[in-house]
Amino acid sequence: MDFELNEEQKILKKAAAEFGAGEFEEGKEYDRKEKFPWDVIKKAAKQGFIGVLLDEKFGGAGYTVTEKGLIIKEFAKIDPGIAQAIWSADFGAYIVQKHGGEDLKKKYLPKVTSGETVMGTAISEPDVGSDLASIRTRAVKKDGKYVIDGNKMFVTNGDVADFIIVYCRTDPDVKRGHKGLSLFIINTDDEGYQSNKLEGKLGIRASDTAEVSLSGVEVDEGKMIGEEGKGVYYVLDFLTKVNRICTAFFAVGIAEGAFEKSLDYAKEREQFGKPISEFQMIKAKLAEMKTKIDAAKLLTHRAAEESARTEGRLANLNPSIAKWYAGEVAVDVVDEALEIHGGYGYMEDYDIERFYRDAKIAEIYEGTKEIQKLMIADDILQR
């Protein structure tokens, strides 16, 4: 398989790199203050970097996940926190476009691509993470509407979005299992919606994360996305075909950024009368970092290309491989980068300190590394 970028992709990659270099200068401040970068989000939208998977009629670019991933990677090389805020500004838009009705698409999607607002998707709950079938939030049909009650945890953009997708149980007869789960769009100013911004995160502090409480939130039937009871399939499709691959690109970007900073530092930093890049142990670290990054990049591009053109086993397997390995590589590479920087790498004045904190999330969200390994093994054993 040929992973060489075409001319359009090269231009896009360069544009993303230039945008990040020019607009992410305040990354440290956003991190320190745990501030959502609204100004950067709006500029990114103006440049066409948000909602790129969406059709042009909704303000998108009609790109594949490869192009979206290239943007994410270039942003993450510069500042992972701001990169996360930008690439999750349209979190769930893919689901709306693929499964939602035309009225929902026309009403909500242009608001995201224009930078007017951001959106989120509420899946996890205080007691439910990886087990998507055990969701407790309920939507009960009453007088032509659905009344939603429940609590959601770690909701991306839950405190800043104007609307979010909520994953909940619509069939009260199904106590457990994947049946009877559905998706709704709700407005965050709806009565009964309450959000609490989660502060004190280890990393990606520029990205908004919230706990959301839903108490008697009423939504019209028309705000259901797709068919009732098919929510789990829509979510898994989104996680597999889009978000796990995007997470892999994000992780590769963090690793590349840390590697480039380490390479520059090793050439400049002198000990015992010569640059530390001339010491064998530093050379070995750089060689291992580069090899791991290239391997992760190849796995990620493979997953993206196959996901865009195939269905079935490979389209589901390869995103898990890429997500798990790239996340592990990001953590390993940033750890080595901090070692190369020595004591300076431990100080917040140097970007490596922030990259070190930001990298860990790539092993956790969109399915932990343990879940990815189980999915890979299950696929192997079922052949």
**7 backbone dihedrals φ, ψ, rounded to 5°:** -60, -40
- Which tokens is 189 given? 């100013």
Q: Could you say which DSSP state residue 90 is in?
A: B
**Local structure of 225: helix, strand or coil:** coil
366 is catalytic: yes
- Of 237, 262, 362, 213, nearest to 312 by C-alpha is 237
| H or E stretch at 236 | helix 231-238
Pairing label, strands 119-122, 163-169: parallel
Residue 138: alpha-carbon gap to chain centroid: 26
Find the catalytic residue in 23, 336, 363, 366: 366
Can you tell me the distance from the alpha carbon of 262 to that of 340, in angstroms, rounded to the nearest whole number?
A: 6
84 close to 204: Cβ distance less than 8 angstroms = yes
Q: Which residue has the tokens 């999750």?
A: 88
**114 backbone dihedrals φ, ψ, rounded to 5°:** -80, -15
**Local structure of 31: helix, strand or coil:** helix
- Of 182, 254, 180, nearest to 223 by C-alpha is 182
**Local structure of 196: helix, strand or coil:** strand
- Which tokens is 117 given? 């607002």
Angstrom CA distances, 125 to 2, 150, 225, 372, stand at 41, 9, 20, 20
183 close to 193: Cβ distance less than 8 angstroms = no
**Local structure of 294: helix, strand or coil:** helix
Catalytic residue positions, numbered: 366
